[in-house]
Structure 1
Amino acid sequence: MFDIGFWELIVIAILGLIVLGPERLPGALRALQRTVKSVREFSSNVQNELKHELRIKELHEHLQQAEQLDMDKLPPELQRSVAELKAAAQQVQRPYAPKHDDAAVTKKDDSDKHE
């Protein structure tokens, strides 16, 4: 990203020591480190959101192509996209539904309590 070598870093460190002094230099370096970390996290979040939005757009385009074609004669890529969209739709429709294993355990626990 930046083409900074060892000697450039030494010059920057000496200038920082002269300008800030030995008392404030460690705090300034920590603040700089926190700022760089937050900028990296922000850029990572933006990148992940962009990837997610691009995937949604791709799925939407595949769905439009699937609607135009006969649903039985779709290419494999479009079939995967349609299946992925159906799975996502099912998750959205029942986000809090208990899983089959959890429901069986809950029913068994309830029957044990009534006995």
Structure 2
Amino acid sequence: MFDIGFWELIVIAILGLIVLGPERLPGALRALQRTVRRVREFSSNVQNELKHELRIKELHEHLQQAEQLDMDKLPPELQRSVAELKAAAQQVQRPYAAKQDDAPVTKKDDSDKHE
């Protein structure tokens, strides 16, 4: 990643030991390790989100192509994309439908009105 060789690491370790001292060097290394881990996790999350968004864009383009052609005369690749989109839409709608079915039904009470 940084193209640092063995001797460069030795020089960096000696400089770190001189600058920070033996008491603070382990804590600084742990903090550096946490920071590197967070940066890697962040970059991994960004990469996964980009892949997901690109896949959605690709599926959306295939759906538009399917609408422009006839739905009956689609190539197999577009038929698979349309099927994936339909399955994804059903998965999104299922949790909302389940929440609506589970919601308690409230009955209006006219006894609150006093005329």
TM range (shorter): 0.7 to 0.9
Deviation at 1:93, TM superposition (A): 1.3
Deviation at 1:3, TM superposition (A): 1.0
Runs of 4+ off more than 6 Å: 96-115
In structure 1, the partner of 2:85 is 85
Distance of aligned partners of 1:82 and 1:113 in 2 relative to their CA distance in 1, 3 Å threshold: farther
Distance (whole Å) between structure 2 residues aligned to residue 49 and residue 87 of structure 1: 20
Using the size of structure 1 for normalisation, the TM-score is 0.82
Deviation at 1:98, TM superposition (A): 7.5
In structure 2, the partner of 1:75 is 75
Deviation at 1:74, TM superposition (A): 0.5
Distance of aligned partners of 1:112 and 1:77 in 2 relative to their CA distance in 1, 3 Å threshold: farther
Distance of aligned partners of 1:72 and 1:27 in 2 relative to their CA distance in 1, 3 Å threshold: same
SS at structure 2 position matched to 1:106: coil
Q: Unpaired segments of 5 or more residues in structure 2?
A: none
Instruction: Note the alpha carbon deviations across 1:57-95, whole angstroms, 9 max, x for none.
Output: 000000000000010110111000000000011111112
Deviation at 1:41, TM superposition (A): 0.1
Distance (whole Å) between structure 2 residues aligned to residue 103 and residue 110 of structure 1: 22
Distance of aligned partners of 1:72 and 1:5 in 2 relative to their CA distance in 1, 3 Å threshold: same
SS at structure 2 position matched to 1:72: helix
Distance of aligned partners of 1:60 and 1:4 in 2 relative to their CA distance in 1, 3 Å threshold: same
Residue identity (%) = 96
Q: Unpaired segments of 5 or more residues in structure 1?
A: none
Distance (whole Å) between structure 2 residues aligned to residue 35 and residue 110 of structure 1: 62
Distance of aligned partners of 1:17 and 1:107 in 2 relative to their CA distance in 1, 3 Å threshold: farther
Aligned residues: 115
